[in-house]
Chains A and B, each alone.
Chain A
């Protein structure tokens, strides 16, 4: 029963990530795309954690950890580039 619930949530997350990709494709400004990619990153982290439970292979949790940190630094660099024109 619990596996069915988790599969339903994973499939829903994938479908709504596709909707967010639609917004990232057709966003009028560049900041819309930043927001949409942020949402997709969060969804990927949730999918990774649920797969770690379904597949009973818990090293995916470390992968999700690194993914969160990398997405944060990436978003920070994009915003600094947009505000100041250079990163370093």
Chain B
């Protein structure tokens, strides 16, 4: 029937994305790039496979449980990816050669401190910092 064909499309699409994610895990050179491959491919692939199963099951209770599992995976997977990236950055895990980091947080803090010192000095009539 039509439902089965749509379900087969979603199942094979999700399987394709899962396979691409695992190939990225094998092939890419770095912790950060491996995470970059998996954080997106795994979430999308799992969501598509679960949508395909929902089209096949056709029972209200089980469809509700599947929707709950899909929502949990869609929220949990990016959170875990973010935490792994933060841990890797804090531990100083080496990157692949040729890549660099722009730390916007430290730069904005430095800029704000400098502007505060400037405004204080201008109130007191002194010269500006360079």
Contact = CB atoms under 8 A, between A and B. Distances in A.
Interface of A: 1-2, 5-6, 9, 12-13, 16, 19-20, 22-23, 29, 31-32, 34-36, 38-39, 42-43, 45-46, 49-50, 53, 58, 61-62, 64-65, 68-69, 72, 75-76, 79, 82-83
Nearest to A32: B31
Interface string B38-62: 1000100010011001001101001
Interface residues of B, number: 41
Q: Is the interface of B mostly helix, strand, loop or mixed?
A: helix
Interface string B69-107: 100110011001001100110110100000000000000
Contact of B91 (A36, A50, A82): A82
Contacts of A43: 18
B18 A35 contact: no
A9 B11 contact: yes
Q: Is the interface of A mostly helix, strand, loop or mixed?
A: helix
A19 B26 contact: yes
A40 B76 CA distance: 15
Given A9-B15, A42-B46, A49-B69, 18 more contacts: A2-B56, A23-B25, A29-B88, A38-B77, A39-B42, A42-B18, A45-B69, A49-B50, A49-B53, A50-B53, A64-B69, A65-B72, A68-B76, A69-B72, A72-B76, A76-B80, A82-B87, A83-B87
